[in-house]
Amino acid sequence: MPDDPWQPPRILLAVDLVILTLRAARLHVLLVNRGIDPFRGAPALPGGFLADEHEDIEAAARRELAEEAGLSGVHLEPLGVYGEPGRDPRGRVVSVAHLAIAPRLPEPVAGTDAVHASWTPVDDILAPGAELAFDHRRIIVDGVERARAKLEHTALATAFCAESFTISELQQVYEAVWGVRLDPRNFYRKVQGARGFIVAVGPMRKPSNGRPARLFKAGPVHVLTPPMTRP
Amino acid sequence: MPDDPWQPPRILLAVDLVILTLRAARLHVLLVNRGIDPFRGAPALPGGFLADEHEDIEAAARRELAEEAGLSGVHLEPLGVYGEPGRDPRGRVVSVAHLAIAPRLPEPVAGTDAVHASWTPVDDILAPGAELAFDHRRIIVDGVERARAKLEHTALATAFCAESFTISELQQVYEAVWGVRLDPRNFYRKVQGARGFIVAVGPMRKPSNGRPARLFKAGPVHVLTPPMTRP
DNA sequence: AGAGGTTCCTGTCGAACTGACAAAAAGTTA
DNA sequence: TAACTTTTTGTCAGTTCGACAGGAACCTCT
């Protein structure tokens, strides 16, 4: 059996984006409505194929981030690979999922290309009965879990905030992502105790009511010592 | 400019394996000597292309694990994606790296196919001056760091041990992977305090000398509470 | 101006945890 | 039997953590 010189298979490579942000003290993820046929009309994660054979994977993720969400300069990190053979009816598609964190209050969509993007509370889209294209439900679950875990040991929470923020705003990030209530006094002590996590900038006044809060910005350290422990 | 209907590029998908184990109280990684031309003769991680278009990625990793290392039934988890455009001179190759943990004392190689596999101390191969094919140095660094981090919060350390083991054997795992010395008495207390981490089986005698140690096996819990803290 | 309300910030206190070290227990070797 | 090695059980002081009290600073309403 003189089989021809074996050639490895060629597959399609895509990137998908789990973009998280905070809106109204709830964790939201950016979803688009699919316009083309596999899962047409269903909500899906922003993403797409590599533009050409020489495009870097992270560059493709940043390109989709700008094209489909109008975002740039946000936190972006690889999340995982999703390549189960039957996940895409069009053929063998392997997707490299990325996790992006957007600061609060980015304009509702501001999409340049796909205007069909919208922020959706993760609780709603992960509730039983909600439908998502492909295996994007699993990808969102993994992305949220990654964010929850990294909030404990890294300064990722500052990526949810604007350049300067108050400690209670930072606390809202932890409460929304973890889905718990935290004691403001203990939170204050712990955040201040983690060296290099946040540094003071100046005082401000809160628009509503109450004592004005000090303003902070993200510090130089990305690994928290001691870590923030989840209840 | 009626450009033809755009077609996404097709790329080659590979799997690479970082297989870690303990030998003589040192952390080792399995390396093969490349027999074909890109980086011929240089040490490299075991791995290869997808067998066909329908092979699952994790299945490909397990296949390479058996073919190139003669291992089966060991811990295996995805590590990350390495797809930088210039990393393989043959073309656009995207590799899905996996991390595998082998119990101590698997027979030196026992390779069925590639007999050129050998265990190498990670300290040696990561020392400046050592040469590795492709970007495999970076992959090994990431794999070791993943193992170090997971030892803190999960029961991954038991994957380095045989089915039953003593507490001091478990301590050797932590010391080798973290590269530190630990107090046996505090380690004993901490391991016992993590509920569900290890469960007792029966007493044994140590071959050399000293008081016989109790035998344990891996418990049902994979998330350690409280975690093992790295000094 | 003062009362009341809200939020921010500083403390306090007991329980739990950690790292450093002592010492007994149970074997092997000389 | 003495010496040695390794495992196992404690002890103890310093630190951290969760729960809670209370003062400080601002707003709004009367």
Of B110, B85, B88, B83, nearest to B36 by C-alpha is B88
Q: Are residues B172 and B199 in the same domain?
A: yes
Mean pLDDT score, B44-53:
96
Q: Is residue B224 part of a domain?
A: no
pLDDT at B203: 79
Distances (CA, A) of A33 to A40, B208, B209: 8, 67, 68
Q: How far is the CA of A192 from the C1' of C3 (A)?
A: 34
Residue B202: how many other CB atoms lie within 10 Å: 9
Rounded average pLDDT over B109-114: 55
For B35, how many CA atoms within 13 A lie in the half-sphere containing its CB?
A: 8
Boundary-marking domain end, from B126, B152, B178: B152
Q: Which residues touch strand C (CB under 7 A)?
A: A 166-168, 184-186, 188-189, 192, 206, 208-214; B 183, 185-186, 190, 193, 205, 208-212, 226, 229, 231
Distance A229 CA to D17 C1' (A): 10
For chain A, how many residues are written? 231
Confidence of residue A208 (pLDDT cuts 50, 70, 90): confident
pLDDT at A3 over 60: yes
Q: Is the domain of A132 the same as that of A197?
A: no
Q: What's the confidence (pLDDT) of residue A194?
A: 96
Give the separation between CA A33 and CA A52, rounded to whole angstroms.
24
CA of A206 to C1' of D4 (A): 70
Give percent of chain B above pLDDT 70. 94
Residues with CB under 7 A from strand D: A 183, 185-186, 190, 193, 205, 209-212, 226, 229, 231; B 166-168, 184-186, 188-189, 192, 206, 208-214
Q: What does the pLDDT read at residue B1?
A: 55
Q: DSSP of chain B, one letter per residue?
A: --PPPP---EEEEEEEEEEEEEETTEEEEEEEE--SSTTTTSEE-SEEE-SSTT--HHHHHHHHHHHHH---S-EEEEEEEE--TTS-TTS-EEEEEEEEE--S---S---SS-TTEEEEEHHHHHSTT---STTHHHHHHHHHHHHHHHHHHBSGGGGGS-SEE-HHHHHHHHHHHHT----HHHHHHHHHHSTTSEEEEEE---SSSSS--EEEEE-S--B-SSPPPP-
Per-residue pLDDT at B152: 97
Domain count, chain A: 2
Mean pLDDT along residues A92-114: 80
Residue A176 and residue A138 in one domain = no
CB-based contact B8 A12, cutoff 8 Å = yes
Please give the pLDDT value at position A203: 79
Instruction: Inform me whether the pLDDT recorded for B5 exceeds 70.
Output: yes
Q: What is the pLDDT of residue A113?
A: 55
Q: Does residue A59 surpass a pLDDT of 80?
A: yes
User: Closest Cα of chain B to A81: distance in Å?
Assistant: 7
Is it the case that residue A1 has pLDDT exceeding 80? no
Q: Are residues B121 and B175 in the same domain?
A: no
pLDDT at B3: 64
Q: At what angle do helices A167-178 and A184-193 cross, to 10 degrees?
A: 110
How distant is the alpha carbon of residue A37 from its chain centre?
A: 26
Q: Is residue B3 part of a domain?
A: no
**Confidence category of residue B219, pLDDT binned at 50, 70, 90:** very high
- Which of A3, A7, A12, A13 has the most B C-beta neighbours within 10 Å, making it the best mutation to test the interface with B? A13
User: B55, A81: Cβ pair inside 8 Å?
Assistant: no
Q: Is residue A3 assigned to a domain?
A: no
In terms of domains, do A33 and A144 share one? yes
A100 with A189, same domain: the answer is no
Taking the Cβ of residue B92 and every Cβ of chain A, the question of whether any pair is shorter than 8 Å is answered with yes
The mean-pLDDT minimum among B164-168, B202-206, B216-220 falls in: B202-206
Domain membership of residue A230 (yes or no) is no
Q: Write down the pLDDT at residue A204.
A: 81
The confidence score (pLDDT) of residue A25 equals 94
Q: What is the mean pLDDT of residues A126-136?
A: 96
Long-range CB contact pairs, B130-134, < 8 A, 24+: B131/B42, B131/B43, B132/B31, B132/B42, B132/B43, B132/B44, B133/B34, B133/B38, B133/B39, B133/B42, B133/B43, B133/B44, B133/B45, B134/B38, B134/B39, B134/B44, B134/B87, B134/B88, B134/B95
At residue B147's C-alpha, the angle toward residues B168 and B133, to 5°, is 125
Residue B167, amino acid: I
Residue A136 falls inside a structural domain: yes
pLDDT for residue B123 is more than 80: yes
The pLDDT of A4-28, averaged and rounded, is 95
- From the list A48, A225, A53, the residue with the least C-alpha distance to B230 is A225
Name the residue of chain A whose CA is nearest to B86's CA.
A54
Which one has a higher pLDDT value, A116 or B27? B27
Using an 8 Å Cβ cutoff, are A175 and A181 in contact? yes
pLDDT at residue number A188: 98
**Overall average pLDDT of the B165-177 stretch:** 97
Q: Is the pLDDT of residue A134 over 60?
A: yes
CATH of the domain at A49: 3.90.79.10
What's the pLDDT at B84? Answer: 96
- pLDDT score of B63: 97
Note the pLDDT of residue A2.
Answer: 56
The CA distance from B97 to the nearest CA of chain A, in Å, is 10
Q: Which residue has the higher pLDDT, A104 or B94?
A: B94
**Same domain for B40 and B130:** yes
Are residue A54 and residue A125 in the same domain, yes or no?
yes
Average pLDDT value over all residues in chain A = 93
Q: Could you tell me the distance in Å between the CA of residue A211 and the C1' of nucleotide D21?
A: 18
Task: Provide mean pLDDT across the span A159-179.
Answer: 97
Q: Which nucleotide is nearest to B209 (CA to C1')?
A: C28
Domain boundary among B110, B131, B152: B152
Residue in A closest to B59 by C-alpha: A84
pLDDT grade for B35, boundaries at 50, 70 and 90: confident
pLDDT at A35: 86
Question: In this predicted structure, what is the pLDDT of residue A106?
Answer: 61
Query: Chain B: nearest CA to A86, how far in angstroms?
Result: 8
**Domain span at residue A158?**
154-218
**Of A131, A152, A173, which marks where a domain is finished?**
A152
Does residue B225 sit within a domain?
Answer: no
Residues B137, B111 share a domain? yes
pLDDT computed for residue B114 by the predictor: 54
What is the per-residue pLDDT for B209? 84
Instruction: Name the pLDDT band for A110 (thresholds 50, 70, 90).
Output: low
> Using only C-alpha atoms, what is the Rg of chain B?
20
State residue B106's pLDDT score.
60
CATH of the domain at B163: 1.10.10.10
pLDDT for the residue A135: 97
Instruction: State the pLDDT at residue A37.
Output: 86
> Is position B77 within any domain?
yes
Which nucleotide comes closest to A208 if you measure CA to C1'?
A: D27
